[in-house]
Chains A and B, each alone.
Chain A
Amino acid sequence: MSTLHVPTLAQMTAEGKAPEVLFWVGCAGSFDDRAKKITKAFAKILQHVGVSFAVLGTEEGCTGDPAKRAGNEFLFQMQAMMNIQVLNGYEVKHIVTTCPHCFNTLKNEYPELGGNYTVEHHSQFLNGLLKAGRLKIEGGQFRGKKITFHDPCYLGRANGEYEAPRELLEKLDVELREMRRCKQNGLCCGAGGAQMFKEAEKGTAEINHVRADEALETKAEIVVAGCPFCNTMLTDGVKNREKEAEVQVLDLAEMIALAEEL
């Protein structure tokens, strides 16, 4: 296994270099132990393919997504303006992120505040590398495995991207089993709209348990997500049904990194 070398944009700029793409890690990707594995897997893929990339490191701050969804437009715009100052200062053009919430906010809600970038979710970026012939994926250890893909709301319905993650999975030669509710009709994991950070209102069930049941119904051995929050929610849901020994919850980037033995 190669060591990870992740330069910050500050370091690269100091060396007079500009990366091909900025990897926006996001708060979950930076701090959450589970999500950090996704971050590392994606960084390894970039390094393996030879994409020159950098992160903002300590200069990155929350995009403001949870604040905006919690109704706090002030806090959202403060975060956005600070991030835009940093991004524009470095003349960033192209951003890739492993978090659909960061992706949506950077792509859709920053332009009106002066931040205009080409923003991609990692599934789109990796699919682009695949189509350009830079990334080669072989089935590897997942060949023939039964898997299901959970559409993150902020990638799918919010931005209309359903195919990029599925095209990547196809390359892994897996047996993709769609859930009853998928793509446009996919059921939320329960974390969006700042729900991740609060207890759910009184009800008869937890959303992530219902969604995990739908995933388990497909008899998939691996539940694939494309969002660190969905990952947490589904992992919890699978545990709730005591299926964690048989069913793994993995991110797209982890699948590819594992298949390529990175």
Chain B
Amino acid sequence: MSFLPQLVFAAVLIAAIWRFSKKAGTIARNIHLGKAQNRSDNPGARRANMLRVAFGQSKMQARPVAGVLHFIVYAAFLIINIEVLEIIVDGLFGTHRFFAPFLGNAYPLIIGFFEILAVLTVVAVVIFWWRRNVAKLDRFHKPEMKGWAFTDANNILYIEVALMFALLNMNAVESLLPEGHEAFIISNSIAPLWSGLSEGTLHLLERSFWWVHIVGILAFLNYLPYSKHFHIILAFPNTYYANLKDKGQFENNAAVTKEVALMMDPTADPFAAPAPDAEAPVERFGAKDATDLSWINLMNAYTCTECGRCTSECPANLTGKKLSPRKIMMDTRDRIEEIGQNMDANGGTFQEDGKSLLGDYITPEEIWACTSCNACVQACPVDIDPLNIIMKLRNYATMEESSAPSELNAMMTNVENNGAPWPFSQMDRANWTNE
């Protein structure tokens, strides 16, 4: 018996895992280019949220058609991976259907169940493809979905069909071989299509499908980091580290709190030198570039699978404004990727490229169209928070650039002068009681 296939398999497996780990490491590095933010409180509630939202896909079901279809593909992915485990064992040790003897009569039932899942996956994927390419659902054809975003979405569907095709045919062809395992519930119906071929051809076909399936899976693994499909991994940490507080509670800027406390303290000496142990002043208020955002914001960006539920619920987008919460996430990811690539090309340090997230990717027109209604946050099936990014960009625009729309500046002047957004005197606040 030749050990060559086993050696080749081991080499392919190691190379695939090594390459994937390297790219995943780069993404982790990029995410940590963001600012620190502590979200490790309340682990019990976080685990529960992750189980409910990511593992249990609770928010997907807000739209039942896509929700159910997605659940099929997701369940098939999780469960069929058990068979992938067998394939890896077989590949490494030169065994064939390693689990079969241990599982006895249960084995054909289990593999048969996998085959049913594979067929359901193909059905679901075909419907997905139809929704995207024939029915042309509006949310799949927004301006930000041109180019790679559109190609990527279809690539994933094609790869999934190809993998399921290889899996089913592998089982079908094997059943025609004298030494092969008998067919399972679905492959039983496919087998006749291949009958009449010589034993040698069948053997070659069986091996080909086996290799196409497993190499396809490893290739898909390596495709993930370049694709929106990376959500299958990041959905879990992303929901774990999600905001569990009321959605209306926007973050408090502690640096501002310090300064305001100082301004309001009548005993503070305005000319005092800062205490020697005082923290270094913050570089800027709010976010101008992707690196001003927190690591949670950046993880959100890499988690986004561009489904567009956020955008289709956004009141600004619904009424034809340029703002699209999905584009906010895609721009954030594209910009942090660009920064990461810049660093890699320059020995690990970022060389100023004269670009920034606000301005070159996201325009002021987009951020000022937001009503902060939280519809995007509510809609996201993996707890991404585009609103938090929009508010940080507004913080920068208003506090650092003073570039808020002029009507808002007038409103803020009123708040500052007379404690109301309109020019009414604070002394008249109780007039309604006598009117």
Contact = CB atoms under 8 A, between A and B. Distances in A.
Interface stretch (A68-76, A130-138, A141-149, A245-253): A68-76
Interface stretch (A12-20, A89-97, A154-162, A254-262): A154-162
B430 A203 contact: no
B399 A113 contact: no
B315 A71 contact: no
A201 B430 contact: no
Interface string B376-410: 01100000000000010011111100001101101
B375 A68 contact: no
Given A25-B429, A73-B286, A203-B321, 14 more contacts: A8-B430, A25-B432, A56-B429, A60-B429, A69-B394, A73-B253, A78-B260, A107-B246, A108-B249, A153-B372, A184-B378, A190-B315, A202-B322, A210-B315
A71 B260 contact: no
B256 interface: yes
Interface stretch (B22-30, B109-117, B299-307, B363-371): B363-371
B321 A157 contact: no
List 9 A-B pairs, minimum CB-CB distance, nearest first: A158-B248, A204-B320, A193-B372, A61-B419, A71-B398, A71-B394, A203-B320, A108-B249, A188-B373
B315 A187 contact: yes
Interface residues of A, number: 71
A73 B249 contact: no
B321 A198 contact: no
Contacts of B247: 157-159
B316 interface: yes
Interface in A53-92: 55-58, 60-62, 64, 66-75, 77-79, 81-82
Interface stretch (B182-190, B200-208, B270-278, B420-428): B420-428
Interface in B233-271: 245-250, 252-253, 256-257, 259-261, 263-264
Contacts, number: 218
A158 B374 contact: yes
A203 B324 CA distance: 13
A105 to B, nearest CB: 8
B369 A197 contact: no
24 contacts: A30-B420, A30-B428, A58-B430, A62-B421, A68-B250, A69-B372, A70-B408, A70-B412, A72-B399, A77-B257, A78-B260, A81-B264, A157-B375, A158-B248, A158-B374, A159-B246, A159-B247, A190-B315, A191-B371, A197-B408, A201-B368, A205-B320, A207-B315, A207-B319
A133 B415 CA distance: 40
B249 to A, nearest CB: 4
| Residue in B257, B396, B420 whose Cβ sees the most chain A Cβ within 10 Å | B420
A51 interface: no
Nearest to A31: B424
B248 A104 contact: yes
How many residues of B sit at the interface, in one of the four size bands?
A: 35 or more
A232 interface: no
B319 A194 contact: no
Interface in A193-216: 193-207, 210-211
A77 B396 CA distance: 16
B422 A27 contact: yes
Contact of A197 (B257, B371, B407, B429): B407
A112 interface: yes
B352 interface: no
B416 interface: yes
Nearest to B258: A77
A132 to B, nearest CB: 25
B329 to A, nearest CB: 18
A40 B398 contact: no
Given A67-B412, A112-B252, A210 B370 contact: no
Given A62-B421, A71-B395, A203 B313 contact: no
Given A157-B375, A204-B320, A207-B315, A30 B430 contact: yes
A192 B399 contact: no
B75 interface: no
Nearest to A5: B433
B285 interface: yes
A109 interface: yes
Nearest to A30: B429
Contacts of B261: 81
Nearest to A188: B373
Contact of A71 (B62, B318, B404): B404
Contacts of A235: none
B246 A201 contact: no
| Residue in A56, A104, A203 whose Cβ sees the most chain B Cβ within 10 Å | A203
A185 interface: yes
Contacts of B416: 75, 78
Contacts of B420: 27, 30-31, 61-62
A6 B411 contact: no
B246 A108 contact: yes
Contact of A31 (B62, B375, B399, B428): B428
Contacts of A211: 315
A187 B394 contact: no
Contacts of A185: 62, 313, 375, 378
B378 A193 contact: no
B419 A187 contact: no
Nearest to B435: A36
Contacts of A77: 253, 256-257, 260
A49 interface: no
A127 interface: no
| Residue in B286, B377, B411 whose Cβ sees the most chain A Cβ within 10 Å | B411
Contacts of B404: 70-72
A188 B421 contact: no
Contacts of B427: 58
B433 to A, nearest CB: 4
Contacts of A203: 316, 319-321, 369
A198 B249 CA distance: 23
A109 B430 contact: no
Contact of B411 (A82, A184, A197, A210): A197
Given A71-B404, A72-B398, A207-B315, A62 B257 contact: no
Contacts of A113: 252, 257
A130 to B, nearest CB: 24
